[in-house]
Amino acid sequence: MNVLCLVELDEAGVTDASLRALTFARSLATGGPAAPGATGPVVAAVAFGPADRVPASLLGRYGVTEAYVVEPSALDGYAPQAWARTLEGLLSVTLAAAVVAAGTDCGSEVLAHLGALTGQPMAANCLTASPEADGTLAVSRQRWAGLLIEDAILDGTPALLTVATDVVPPVPVDDAADPAVLVHEPDLDPADLRVRAAVSAGRDGGVSLATARVVVGGGRGVGGPDGFAPLEELARLLGGVVGVSRVVTSQGWRPHTQQVGQTGTKITPELYLACGISGAIQHMAGCASAKHIVVINTDPAAPILSRADYAVIGDLAEVIPALVAALKERA
Amino acid sequence: MEVAVCVKRVPQVGGRIVVTPDGQDVDTRMSGFAISPHEECAVEEAVQITERLGGTVSVLTLGPAEAADQLRDALALGAHRAVLLEDGGREWGPAGTAAAIVAEVRRRAAEGPGCDLLLLGNEAADTGDYQVGVRVAHGLGWPCATGIKHLEITGDGARARREYRGREETFEFGLPAVITVKEGINLPRYPSLPGRLRAKRAAIEQYQPQWQPEGLRKRALRVPDQPRQQATVLGTGADAVPALVRLLEELGVLK
Ligand SMILES: Cc1cc2nc3c(=O)[nH]c(=O)nc-3n(C[C@H](O)[C@H](O)[C@H](O)COP(=O)(O)OP(=O)(O)OC[C@H]3O[C@@H](n4cnc5c(N)ncnc54)[C@H](O)[C@@H]3O)c2cc1C
Ligand SMILES: Nc1ncnc2c1ncn2[C@@H]1O[C@H](COP(=O)(O)O)[C@@H](O)[C@H]1O
């Protein structure tokens, strides 16, 4: 089956979320019957930006066989409905039976528009998809921010899917070849451009919560807005950032940008050190992909202890300053 | 300014999520119900807008008769009118839900002052379909912005901002429009006592939209495998710090 995948570009080339979406697109393409007369399934990628910024060899390493680029002269910047219209136009060019995007703000929004433009259903945050004999797809997808999995049947051509990017790993191919990069001119409707983004300059430096290697988490147990200084210091010593629970943001102790969880940020660090957090499932939905979870909590029966690797039972106001002192001494 | 807000009644699960034996639903025997935090913020945003600019806030839900509770919660926060679209005991998907919302917005516009701004959550807490707002916008032919965390209403237009990958994206467009918001756009207020009393007495309009089948058909729900079991306890209080430092060393997170 031919599959078209939306690829988001960044300074490093292609976003990590898009590499995961490409991996998903490739397994979907090779899992089904090939298009009639074709030598092999096509994994087509489409990116928006200057052609010289499209990293062909990186795309090739992730199984892309054809790359389309929409240059700023044709469509400048992010306009969700115009991006969806472009994907719609590429369906007949690529003979794609499925369209895939990362389950990011951008990918989810563009595929929702494509669903509305084509009148097709869209399955959000998929983990797996495989063609059935009757032409439908068997999919598994996240509900409840990943706390539940739904097994479902997706009808319709093209099949529209976003990929749960915190779960599906990015896997390169063995026999990579650079795809041709073809400039594509989309056929847009004026209404497609009613909503387009003006984008600010990037935040300079600073580690972001979503990509930090270490996150020091603080919950209600921190006690108040003044309790976060030792957590900040610990995060700094570990080269990481502070993340918080919803209790902390809804009390106004910390800004919502620091919230980890279902309605906050999903984190994927090497280490999540969760202090004074009980481990409500909506919080765990944001940190389940952490490689290691270590807990500091006064309550040995707190639910988070049954979802963590290691724990210190104790008052964080005592343990964290002692840990900070020990790390400083060591340095 | 006429603002309408779409909210969805969902189970309020605590420490654990359990699926019914037939695999079709979340077991709600032990849980309460609520709307998603995103939608709470949408209600708050709508109330703040009409406090500034005048006008009314309508809350709208598609759900069972009991979803009147969630409408009353929104009325207690300052919404003025409430509409319950009865789901007829069926599970609705995103396309059908969007169609029912579109029909209700059109019906209102035919009867009186139409809606200038329609607010939804970015995604529902339970199904997480990430699309009802966009589908509603297409149904109405209105512009749409999603995932918004900062909103200004400027005369006859809107300026909406969100953060994406460390940058800020700003969208400007005319009204009427559909905007989906995320938690963080504001800090919702607590309901006042007079607000609660008013909500208790308020009338709720009810309609019965026609259910339609969806192209994504659920077979079963399941809880994903839990890779982690009970945590190994390193020690108690500050005495555990040496063991904690050794662990951090082993995990390779110390510079
Ligand atoms: C749809 C929905 C979405 C949600 N989204 C999110 C989300 O994105 N993120 C999120 O976090 N929550 C979210 N929640 C809320 C969630 O259900 C919990 O209410 C919240 O996570 C609890 O925060 P907490 O662990 O800080 O507080 P609590 O549950 O009150 O836990 C505090 C913990 O601190 C411990 N403690 C107390 N004092 C100390 C001390 N001195 N030292 C060490 N430990 C101490 C206690 O033993 C306890 O375990 C959501 C809820 C819903 C319904
Ligand atoms: N049954 C419903 N009734 C009213 N609004 C809904 C309903 N389902 C979804 N919505 C709205 O659409 C948003 C996105 O939902 P979804 O696309 O299903 O993730 C939610 O946050 C709600 O604001």
- Classify residue B244 by burial, with Cβ atoms within 10 Å: 0-12, 13-18, 19+: buried
User: Probe ligand 2: pick from B10, B60, B132, B214, max atoms within 8 Å of CB?
Assistant: B132
Gap from A39 CA to chain B (nearest CA, Å): 31
Beta bridge partners of A14: A9
How confident is the model at residue A166, as a pLDDT?
A: 81
The domain in which residue A274 lies consists of 202-330
Residues ≥6 apart with Cβ < 8 Å to B105: B4, B114, B115, B118, B136, B140
Select from B162, B218, B251 the Cβ nearest to the Cβ of A150.
B218
Gap from B242 CA to chain A (nearest CA, Å): 8
How confident is the model at residue A35, as a pLDDT?
A: 56
How confident is the model at residue A38, as a pLDDT?
A: 58
What tens digit of pLDDT does each residue of A172-226 get? 998 889 999 999 999 999 999 999 999 987 765 567 899 899 999 999 999 999 9
How confident is the model at residue A283, as a pLDDT?
A: 96
pLDDT at B90 over 80: yes
A84 and A65 fall within a common domain: yes
CB-ligand 2 contact for B48 (6 Å cutoff): no
Nearest Cα residue in chain A from B128: A143
- Among A136, A160, A193, the domain boundary falls at A193
Q: Which CATH number fits domain B2-207: 3.30.70.940, 3.30.70.1560, 3.30.870.10, 3.40.50.620?
A: 3.40.50.620
Query: For tokens 């510079």, what's the residue?
Result: B255
The tokens of A155 are what?
Answer: 């009808």
How many other C-beta atoms can be found within 10 angstroms of the C-beta atom of residue B20? 12
Residues A236 and B216: beta-carbon distance below 8 Å: no
Instruction: Identify the top-confidence range among B46-50, B151-155, B191-195.
Output: B46-50
pLDDT at A331 over 80: no
Task: Find the mean pLDDT for residues B80-92.
Answer: 97
How confident is the model at residue B226, as a pLDDT?
A: 78
Task: Find the mean pLDDT for residues B78-104.
Answer: 97
How confident is the model at residue A171, as a pLDDT?
A: 94
Give the type of residue at A258: Q
Of the candidates A250, A246, A239, the one whose C-alpha atom is nearest the C-alpha of residue A265 is A246
Query: How many residues can be counted in chain B?
Result: 255
- Number of domains making up chain A: 2
Cα torsion B39, A243, A128, A91: sign? positive
- Asked if A88 is an interface residue toward chain B (Cβ–Cβ < 8 A), one would say no
How far apart CA B147 and CA B160 sit, in angstroms, is: 9
Gap from B203 CA to chain A (nearest CA, Å): 31
Which CATH number goes with the domain that contains A97? 3.40.50.620
Nearest 10 degrees: Cα torsion A195, A201, A206, A212: 30
Closest CA to ligand 2's atom 7: B8
pLDDT at A36 over 60: no
Residues A167 and A127: beta-carbon distance below 8 Å: yes
A143 and A275 fall within a common domain: no
How confident is the model at residue A34, as a pLDDT?
A: 55
How confident is the model at residue A189, as a pLDDT?
A: 94
Task: Tell me the pLDDT of chain A averaged across its residues.
Answer: 94
- Among A158, A193, A228, the domain boundary falls at A193
pLDDT at B112 over 90: no
SS3 of A95, please? coil
What tens digit of pLDDT does each residue of B185-237 get? 999 999 999 999 999 999 999 999 999 999 999 999 999 987 778 999 999 99
Residues B181 and B38: beta-carbon distance below 8 Å: yes
